[in-house]
Amino acid sequence: MEDYPAKQGTENLDDPPNSRLFVVASRSVTEDELRDSFSVFGDIQGVWVVKDKQTKESKGICYVKFSKSSQACLAMEEMHGKVLVDGTKPIKVFIAQSRSSTRHRDVEDEELTRIFVMIPKTFSEEDLKDTFKEYGDIEYCVIIKNKFTGESKGLGYVRYYKPSQAAVAIENCDKTYRAILAEPRTKAATTEEYSSGGTARGGEYMNAGDNMNQYAFPMADPGNYPVMDYRSGDFTRCLMMSTRAALTQEQIFALFDLIPGMEYCELQRDAYGMSKGHALIRYSNLGSAVYAKDKLNGFEYPPGNRLAVNFVDDGEDRSSPVGRMAMQFVATQMMSAVWNGPSTSQVMKPPGYPPVSQMSRVQTDVNLPPLKKLAPPDSKSKERLFVVFSPSPLPMDVLEDVFCRYGSLIEVHLVPGRKVGYMKYADKQCADDALAALHGRVVNGVKMKVMLADPPREESHKRPRTY
DNA sequence: CGACGGGACGC
DNA sequence: CGACGGGACGC
């Protein structure tokens, strides 16, 4: 790529997988024009227009590398079929063929909307859907079962409508689900499975000709849903924020208002007006929502309280081309300002947070020290605690609240479907302190056994991941 | 007692 | 239809 550090020229093209776009455009399109129109969708690592060796003229083939697959997918969905320069042909946008791999599968027909996950055997298809719907609209969920006994094998598929949703799920879901892109089903089986209309994939889509991106979602005829119909161009501008500590409406507003374009922010309350620990935020444009999610998901506010921010469907129609152009303009300005500007911590520093009420969400016989800041998620684990709950596991947020107070907590891990969990610490002494203080104690009526965890098994003979 | 991992769809 | 370049930190 033209602006790549030389070192990464060829090695990082497919890291992470499906983060690079293959763009067919007019020969007149320049790298700068591509960068301008694609930078709205994420962090561009490189843009390259393929040119003839001798004449130096563009061949109309371009590559755009993003730092994340979800950004590349989103850009593909939004930009495919767009006219970049008046009077030129609409561009075509696909996820680029992996360069390292020798096999030459046709990526245009590649399934990018179905993920493969590992789940507790107790999960129903409804549980699966409930777990993964926060990342996007789900077409269907399937659990692999023993065909005679009907018992779950602990494996499942989740089909989204759009590649960006599948990518967001893979990037953001709990690691214990081991979410990866599902391998396409075998050719023979694909024909009449999920479409009563029985249209071959790809053909119908390509016949759309110069109206590639114009045909709307076929709401009236859900039975005839070609798999490639995700390219109709919309993505949620709405975010759901979850917080463990009780935050006020004003605090949340101030935080999300740091990203330009916020037009709605409301703390969710129950029937008694108490905070439910969630807030809905909507931005005026896609770019702002993507950016806010990227920057605020995992952000600690106040320190020690890690926020979770995810997309939610707002069910709106976002197909107005005028609105999208305005969005791209604003988002481009905003992003270049922030990305080239001061560091994240400065940008995100809120104007001083008032005391966060401890809101009796944790009842315990322990005299808890105050909340402490979490260690960064990528910290090296120096000690793990193994915790057994009786009679049933405590929620993640409560555990984080309790176990972070001895310092250096990296993350809480609950084993799905079991009554045990792991607490990962960046400092051994902190872990020991937590163990000493919390072993045998009762939190919200749940008794905890707290022990040093056995070291995790060496992972060695694992087959390489398929994506 | 109470343990993380693992992996594929009736063609 | 429409698939992969150029150039090189500083020990």
Q: A148-183, pLDDT tens digit by residue? A: 888 899 999 999 999 999 999 999 888 889 999 998
**Rounded CA–C1' distance between A56 and C8, in angstroms:** 22
Res A4: pLDDT: 47
Q: CA geometry: angle at A175 spanning A171 and A177, to 5°?
A: 100
Strand order through the sheet with A238-242: A262-269, A275-283, A238-242, A308-312
A375 neighbors A405 (Cβ within 8 angstroms): no
CA A37 to mean position of chain CA atoms: 22
A465 touches strand C (CB under 7 A): no
Taking the whole predicted model, whether its pTM rises above 0.95 is answered as no
A7 touches strand C (CB under 7 A): yes
pLDDT digits (tens, 9 = 90+) for A12-49: 788 899 999 999 999 999 999 999 999 989 889 999 99
**Rounded CA–C1' distance between A419 and B2, in angstroms:** 8
| A118-142 core/surface letters (b: 16 or more CB in 10 A; e: else) | ebeeebebebbeebbbbbbebbebe
The nt closest to A178 (CA vs C1′) is B7
The amino acid sitting at A84 is L
pLDDT digits (tens, 9 = 90+) for A384-416: 999 999 999 998 889 999 999 999 999 999 987
Statement: residue A11 has pLDDT above 70: no
Question: Which positions on chain B have an atom < 7 Å from some protein CB?
Answer: 2-11
Statement: residue A336 has pLDDT above 80: no
| C6 C1': nearest CA residue | A2
Q: For residue A227, with 0-12 CB atoms within 10 Å meaning exposed, 13-18 middle and 19 or more buried, which class applies?
A: buried
Res A424: pLDDT: 96
A46 touches strand C (CB under 7 A): yes
| C1 C1': nearest CA residue | A24
**Rounded CA–C1' distance between A374 and C11, in angstroms:** 38
**Rounded CA–C1' distance between A147 and B7, in angstroms:** 18
Res A222: pLDDT: 33
Strand order through the sheet with A114-118: A138-145, A152-160, A114-118, A180-181
Average pLDDT of chain A, as a whole number? 78
pLDDT digits (tens, 9 = 90+) for A97-123: 888 765 555 666 668 999 999 998 889
pLDDT digits (tens, 9 = 90+) for A251-275: 999 999 998 889 999 888 877 777 7
A230 touches strand C (CB under 7 A): no
Strand C and chain A: which residues 273-312 have CB closer than 7 Å? none
Q: CA geometry: angle at A465 spanning A310 and A156, to 5°?
A: 60
Res A112: pLDDT: 94
A413 neighbors A464 (Cβ within 8 angstroms): no
Res A231: pLDDT: 41
